[in-house]
Structure 1
């Protein structure tokens, strides 16, 4: 069975000069900025950043009041941005789909879900807040569809909130629009939960997200065609076929095809089964990964000690 997240959005923290110029274009469009309370400030900040430095990478200038991410589609084209502003245990999300040609494709809801992943699993926010103009129906609907609840409202502003507990509950119930049906054994899950406490990086955030939403089964129950830890699988990576082994970080050797579960490819394939196709960010670009065949699975082989 083929499972894919549609539409696909990835959030990237690196902001180049070219990205900044794209943002400037978006912020000059009144229909994009109409409901952005801080659009004038953002626009001025970007303008000053571009004027002040000739550097090709401007990330540090965008992260002064929070964390800033460009939103990219499946083709690595920038379509919007997200700001996450942490105050104490809470975090506020501000986002816009700047490319008006992409409006109506549900990219806003997808971008919100990627923002939630970062706010809760990376920044460890207890509550995520979104403040939205009452006339901004597109944004209101996107946050409601993503599980946010109305907390307070005035004639000028509706305040929505999502708690970390509710987020994890919705994730486990498969209510956040992710493709369901990835499987992990009880033993693998216990080991990986211990591991992610010690590791960090974007792939580890993705790994924790996958662990939270996976269906947990006993080693004896897991289907033979599922990629479990220490499995070997034949993948199609875009147009290239590669054979990989999914291993723990201490056994990793990418040049020998042994990919750590904390790497982009490793986190991507855990729990999927033969025939599944996923879009995933690998080494700063989006790749299409198909699980062609599980060549070896410890559980199927009776190697439960691995």
Structure 2
């Protein structure tokens, strides 16, 4: 893949909290975080206050907190999204300094934008950055943020929802490559998204927004469309799946809802494509080996 893979996970464990404390003891990490001392103290208090293995609820006070994972499921940083009215502020850091310089910050920003705009429905996403924080300045500018205001000690950048969607459609901040969807499938799925919710639905909406839309009789025969059957390579396992609407789903029979993790992942890709996708709390490599049946290619336009 051309862009480093990053996934944001909302569950925060005690082990995550200890990792965060280690990161926040590194002056290189905290140099430009204005509230790093308070954050470190709060984490320490949270660990001391409870013996629960999951601390997510403590980290989500006043905002939403996520751990950032790389392709190998190693925690590399964190993101916090604080929504006030229609505006949302993003705070992030790549805490693992050994992995600096690999564009993980830009990947983390892209994932943060996805959640802010498609899950939290922010009208504008704001980033406040110290003028000397050259890495962050470069990453946010390359992600399409615009300078909104500045003082000698702070630069404020913003991204509007409309601009984000425009970038997605131009594939400026999209995923691993172009995907294709028919006009009919897109219309049906947009209606479906309005009724469904969950992380996979956010991913599905993201894919729809960045997809290249074509007429049903013009889609290539090797593209995975709705009600297609395909042979996948899932890491080291070969499986046959059918991509269906939620009411027809039956995973034991190989029928995966488009609102499931695997379903949202394969929509619009074509034979030979390979993508990284987070499934069942770990990152998997999915390759489209062969499209076994596609309704449009078979002339079954009623499906």
TM-score (normalizing by structure 1): 0.98
2:189 to 189, 192, 215: 192
2:136 to 116, 136, 139: 139
2:72 to 67, 71, 75: 75
Q: Which runs of 4+ in 1 moved over 4 A?
A: none
The alignment partner of 1:74 has SS state of coil
Task: Give the superposition deviation at 1:38.
Answer: 1.2
2:20 to 14, 19, 23: 23
Aligned CA RMSD, in angstroms, stands at: 0.7
Superposition pairs of residues 1-306 of structure 1, within 5 angstroms:
4=1, 6-306=3-303
Conserved? CA contact 1:5–1:178, under 8 Å: no
Cα deviation digits, residues 88-138 of structure 1 (max 9, x gap): 100000000000011000000000000000000000000000000000000
Conserved? CA contact 1:5–1:279, under 8 Å: no
Cα deviation digits, residues 14-58 of structure 1 (max 9, x gap): 000000000000000000000001111211111011000011000
Cα deviation digits, residues 250-295 of structure 1 (max 9, x gap): 0000111000000000000000000000000001110000000000
Conserved? CA contact 2:176–2:275, under 8 Å: no
Which whole-Å CA distance do the structure 1 matches of 2:128 and 2:192 have between them?
A: 36
Greater RCO, 1 or 2 (C-alpha within 8 Å, sep 6+): 1
Task: Give the superposition deviation at 1:177.
Answer: 5.0
Which whole-Å CA distance do the structure 2 matches of 1:116 and 1:98 have between them?
A: 19
Unaligned runs of 5+ in 2: none
Task: Give the superposition deviation at 1:180.
Answer: 2.8
The alignment partner of 1:151 has SS state of strand
Unaligned runs of 5+ in 1: none
The alignment partner of 1:220 has SS state of helix
Cα deviation digits, residues 145-187 of structure 1 (max 9, x gap): 0000000000000000000000000010011152332000000
The alignment partner of 1:275 has SS state of coil
The alignment partner of 1:203 has SS state of helix
Conserved? CA contact 2:76–2:96, under 8 Å: yes
TM-score (normalizing by structure 2): 0.99
Task: Give the superposition deviation at 1:5.
Answer: 5.1
Cα deviation digits, residues 185-232 of structure 1 (max 9, x gap): 000000000000000000000000000000000000000000000000
